[in-house]
């Protein structure tokens, strides 16, 4: 009976762990502390220097897609400052990434287009800064100095 109890408890732990993984967004922050880059940080620089990354996992209980779809769309990257954050989350069976600048007001989602090696960028803007305020109040990770 004791073995059955242990197996049952272990299976609950595994299921809770798996559920949390499905509802976890991994946030990668590009620190820019190791050197100066000759241009604005782009995807190549962002992903090419993992030693510049700080990571945070956040468990959430809402649809990330819905949160961003409610934001106003931007024309191109006019208000997008420096690529600073990548929010990686599960969207169904695949993983998606939404990038944010240092202000946490401008966001972009990169979608692969049917043409090989072509991507479409969709820009969102949080004019009121509600997402930035919420993240900075809850996690020191998002504060400018930490």
Is the pLDDT assigned to residue 39 strictly greater than 60? Answer: yes
> For 17-30, what is the mean pLDDT?
74
106-112: strand order across its sheet: 53-59, 24-30, 83-91, 94-101, 106-112, 119-125, 72-73
> For 77-94, what is the mean pLDDT?
83
Surface-to-core class of residue 58, CB atoms within 10 Å of its CB (0-12 exposed, 13-18 middle, 19+ buried): middle
Judged by DSSP in three states, 128 sits in: coil
Is the pLDDT assigned to residue 119 strictly greater than 50? Answer: yes
Is the pLDDT assigned to residue 15 strictly greater than 50? Answer: no
Placement of tokens 């880059």 in the chain: 37
How sure is the predictor about 29, in pLDDT bands with cuts at 50, 70 and 90?
A: very high
pLDDT at 18: 47
> For 82-105, what is the mean pLDDT?
88
CA distances from 97 to 16, 35, 38 (A): 24, 25, 25
Average pLDDT, the chain: 78
Q: Model pTM greater than 0.85?
A: no
- Give the tens place of pLDDT for each residue, 47-56: 999 999 999 9
Nearest to 80 by CA among 104, 64, 98: 104
């Amino acid at each position: 009976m004791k073995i059955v109890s242990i197996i049952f408890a272990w299976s609950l732990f595994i299921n809770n762990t798996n559920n949390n993984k499905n509802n976890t967004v991994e946030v990668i922050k590009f620190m820019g502390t190791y050197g100066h880059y000759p241009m604005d940080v782009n995807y190549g620089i962002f992903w090419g220097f993992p030693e510049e990354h700080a990571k945070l996992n956040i468990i959430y209980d809402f649809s990330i897609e819905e949160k961003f779809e409610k934001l106003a769309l931007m024309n191109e990257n006019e208000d997008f400052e420096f690529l600073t954050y990548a929010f990686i989350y599960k969207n169904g069976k695949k993983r998606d990434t939404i990038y944010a600048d240092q202000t946490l007001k401008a966001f972009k989602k990169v979608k692969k287009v049917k043409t090989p090696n072509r991507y479409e960028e969709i820009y969102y803007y949080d004019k009121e800064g509600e997402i930035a305020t919420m993240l900075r109040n809850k996690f020191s990770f998002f504060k400018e100095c930490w």
